[in-house]
Amino acid sequence: MYTETGTHGSNGEVRGIISPIDSTTEEEQSLRLQLERQVERAFLSAGQALMELRDRRLYRSTHRTFEEYCRDRFGYSRDAAYLKISATVVYENLQKFLPTIGRQIPMPTNERQLRFLAKAELEPAVQADVWQQAVEQAGNKIPSGRIVKDVVDRIRERTKVPNPYHIGEICILLPKDNPDLRGKAGYWGVVSHVGEYSCTLQTWDGDYTVKIEQMKSLKLLDEDCQFMQQLCVRLRQLHQVASRDSSVDWLLQGLGKQAKPYLSSLQAKLLATVEREYKIEWRQQK
């Protein structure tokens, strides 16, 4: 709390100066601490709620996908929604694996502080070690996202991190500094090979072998992955038609960047029409 102390101006008026000297009662201090913790952990509650909405598919009466639901209901992009969920998982791992004997380690207060830790795909115990090191690097205060990233990078340099992807998974390309991926930003594809530090991704126009940091999983359900796998086969078959009209390429490029496990009614009709035009037979696999 603040109070005013008086000083006299040249005309004799008393001017107020704000001074932080008022004390608070123990009850008020307790209430303040309780409210501060609510503010700090708001992101945790949001992530937990989003996780349950996604896992139980409680959006299905109004929306076909979790992505559409989050955008329409909360104004969240897919990345924003999944960042909140991932940050919640990491926070819960920190609660479980951080040492609590002898001293209290500051906990994260927003998902941005955990962004790089969530993306690193580290084991829960390693996540706790990263956070503890980041806190120490920040002078035993809550570290910024940049400090956490620095610690993650150091650990990944000296620790062999298992490739988190698996065959059949649907991912999008992140070109970053890879000149071979220029113009391919946002292309989605199917993981066809998993190496030690890289994967091969099948997209509508070819196969690309990329480092694990140059791709991102869409984290789809198995049935959605199967749909995307079949769609990829259909698009690749069209791309292999040497005599195709240039308008077909517009369709291929559009669908090749639409990382969603469904087609609109018009898109489905257009794709089927083009396949008939070039006598491509397609039977949906079960």
Q: How far is CA 237 from the centre of its chain?
A: 32
For residue 271, is pLDDT > 90? yes
Assign 159 a pLDDT band (cuts: 50, 70, 90).
Answer: low
Assign 4 a pLDDT band (cuts: 50, 70, 90).
Answer: very low
Domains of the chain in start order, with CATH, are 33-158 (no CATH), 164-286 (2.30.30.30)
The average confidence (pLDDT) of the chain is 84
Spatial neighbors of 49 by CB under 8 A, at least 6 apart, are none
Q: What's the N-to-C CA distance of the chain in angstroms?
A: 67
b/e map of 132-165 (b: 16 or more CB within 10 Å)? Answer: bbbbeeeeeebbebebbbbbbeebbeeeebeeeb
Higher pLDDT pick, 45 / 196: 45
Q: How far is CA 262 from the centre of its chain?
A: 21
Task: Give the amino acid at 108.
Answer: P
Assign 267 a pLDDT band (cuts: 50, 70, 90).
Answer: very high
